[in-house]
Structure 1
Amino acid sequence: MTKRFALIDMGTNTFHLLITEVDESGKQQELIRTTAPVRLGQGGISNGSIAPAAYERALRTLRDFRKQIDEHEVDTVRAMATSMVRNAANGDDFIKDIYKQTDIRVEVIDGDREAEFIYYGVRAAGVLDEKTALVMDIGGGSVEFILCNKQEIFWKRSFEIGAQRLMDKFFQQDPISPENIAAEKAFLQDKLQPLTEAVAIYKPSVLVGSSGTFDTLCDIDALRKGDTSRQQKQPAASAVAIYDFYQIHQDLLRKNHEERLAIPGMLEMRVDMIVLASIAVDFVLEQYHLQEIRVSAYALKEGVLQKVLQEEGL
């Protein structure tokens, strides 16, 4: 008896839909994997509500997701909303409108649960081993950090310092000014104090970036080296050498919007936010003396799938 599952991740920047078929032996076949640049936080994240244009874009995207879910005769739908919705004054109305228009029930999850799901997703990608890793998931609204290895989570926390929030705060000119770079790092130093304390205890040696920004950094890195294999199929697990990351990072800081958009592998929906996200990655590497960057293409939705399969006994 095969079952079909649809997982929806309603992020602050992008919405994701994953439809997977699982047979009774637990073998998975991916049917649909799609990402939509909804920009739910645009124009509203800093004043705590979903702006009308973003609200409408989100509903339109979810109506489209519903169509794909129906076409694939899915058995179980799980939809998760994160930072933007959990902090928005009009978040409840938004959830009700989604249900009215699409019949999709959305679970608004807190940062702690989000971090836990991300861990299960990253673990399923096969990037964790015995070494203690610091997992970093950069969303538009929040950033999740998890100290873990492949067996267990030692510490986890979600911080409301996502790339859209950082952009509203520090992206005052393009290319970004050295003053703004320094200001972002000082802000992170302050906000990430609890992480700094946890890192001192658990001493991670590897940074594991999950999805989003990190996928784009891997795409750019591969194309710089003439490797086009990622364009055909994105691997679940990848790596970026520290040296290569810094080459790309310096490039992102030097260039303006148009020049960044021309970088092979760059996605239009990340072209500005990636500057702020890359500064955050640089800060974490430097601050916590991490020697290696691994990348998981799996994150929240894959983690939710792992939990659903566990519940179903598959």
Structure 2
Amino acid sequence: MTQEARFAAIDLGSNSFHLIIAAAKRAGGYRIISRYRHKVRLAAGLDQQLRVNDAAIGRGLQCLSMFRNMLADIPLGHIRCVATATLRKASNQQQMIAQFEEALGCPIEVISGHTEAKLIYQGATSAYAGSSKPLLVLDIGGASTEVIVGHGTEPLHLESFDLGCVVWQQRFFHNQTISATACNDAIASARALLADHVGRFKELGWEQVSGASGTFRALLDLRQSRQLTPVIDATWLQQVLAEVIAVGHVQRLHELPLRRDRTAVFVGGLCILIALLEELGIHRVHLAAGALREGLLLQQLAAVTAPSNS
């Protein structure tokens, strides 16, 4: 492998599609060349029959055609693309995969929630190589939420839950009105899904909690705009929830201020995060070093640098 061997990791999430292009370092690891994120909101296209509509598919195809142009100089064997919750559950999955693979020009693997959680943990804890520090990682996706506890870079227990910021936004805030009742219902419903699994996580324990998704980045952007420390705490989240309810409408969330590209699913993600903190007894959350796509890159590099059996 040459020093500048290039790799690409693509994450077809339920809210955004992500692409990372990286170069392998001769001494190990990688350096990021470029990152791309495009809001596709695939989960927003799911109907009651779990069929993704043509509008959402069209947004995905447009994004993947753009990604294909960016991958022109990367060998096919150095590209890995995975799809997560929405494509896992879509009744028209095969049709979508065929269209998406044609647009992207490479195979797409639909991964299980277990595999997704493991990759998220690997990417989120990449900075802890050689450490045995107990860690908890949270990832609030568009249609699923992953919770993983481990030591250093080794996951010990993980769960993928059937709730996400896009799905929760549509279920509880479909008319874009934000009320205390809707927020309380969203939080309570999320807590109910988590409740039976809390014991095992608490039994294993953790010293630090990391968040690895757009919900956390949006909250940290908000803290930065207010010149606050880059750590999310439970008390502050309640303050944000009160502000969101006072604003009263999704289209006014930029007044907080939130970036307009984050407002569409922000309240759904916020309610899920509050439920996670309340149910697990978490007080503080840091931003993770990476997420699923970084986990994909680490797996790719491990595969090409593994000793040959010949």
Q: TM-score, normalised by structure 2?
A: 0.89
Q: Output the CA distance in 1 between the equivalents of 2:136 and 2:29.
A: 29
The corresponding residue for 2:170 is 168
Cα contact 1:205–1:292 (8 A) shared by 2: no
Q: Output the CA distance in 2 between the equivalents of 1:294 and 1:35.
A: 21
SS of match in other structure, 1:190: helix
SS of match in other structure, 1:79: strand
Superposed displacement of residue 283, structure 1: 1.7
Say if 2:50 is the partner of 1:48.
yes
Alignment coverage as a number of residue pairs: 303
Cα contact 2:150–2:156 (8 A) shared by 1: yes
The corresponding residue for 2:152 is 150
2:220 to 215, 218, 221: 218
Q: Call closer, same or farther: CA 1:177–1:205 in 2, change over 3 Å.
A: farther
1:88-167 correspondence runs (5 A): 88-126=90-128, 130-167=132-169
The corresponding residue for 1:257 is 250
Say if 2:276 is the partner of 1:284.
yes
Superposed displacement of residue 129, structure 1: 6.2
Q: Output the CA distance in 1 between the equivalents of 2:228 and 2:276.
A: 28
In structure 1, give the amino acid aligned to 2:19: L
Cα contact 2:188–2:275 (8 A) shared by 1: no
Say if 2:259 is the partner of 1:267.
yes
Cα contact 2:165–2:266 (8 A) shared by 1: yes
Structure 2 gap ranges (5+)? none
Q: Output the CA distance in 1 between the equivalents of 2:51 and 2:202.
A: 36
Cα contact 2:122–2:154 (8 A) shared by 1: no
The corresponding residue for 1:87 is 89
Structure 1 gap ranges (5+)? 228-237
The corresponding residue for 1:209 is 211
Of 4-13 and 131-140, deviating more is 131-140
Q: Output the CA distance in 1 between the equivalents of 2:284 and 2:6.
A: 37
Cα contact 1:62–1:102 (8 A) shared by 2: yes
Identity, in percent, stands at 27
In structure 2, give the amino acid aligned to 1:259: R
Q: Output the CA distance in 2 between the equivalents of 1:102 and 1:290.
A: 40
Q: Call closer, same or farther: CA 1:75–1:262 in 2, change over 3 Å.
A: farther
Q: Call closer, same or farther: CA 1:150–1:215 in 2, change over 3 Å.
A: same
Cα contact 2:145–2:160 (8 A) shared by 1: yes
The corresponding residue for 2:286 is 294
SS of match in other structure, 2:125: helix
In structure 1, give the amino acid aligned to 2:155: I
In structure 1, give the amino acid aligned to 2:300: V
Superposed displacement of residue 132, structure 1: 3.2
The corresponding residue for 1:76 is 78
Superposed displacement of residue 254, structure 1: 2.4
Q: Output the CA distance in 2 between the equivalents of 1:132 and 1:45.
A: 40
The corresponding residue for 1:30 is 32
Q: Call closer, same or farther: CA 1:242–1:188 in 2, change over 3 Å.
A: closer
Q: TM-score, normalised by structure 1?
A: 0.88
The corresponding residue for 1:305 is 297
Cα contact 2:76–2:106 (8 A) shared by 1: no
Superposed displacement of residue 262, structure 1: 3.3
Poorly superposed stretches of 4+, deviation over 6 Å: none
Q: Output the CA distance in 1 between the equivalents of 2:62 and 2:303.
A: 31
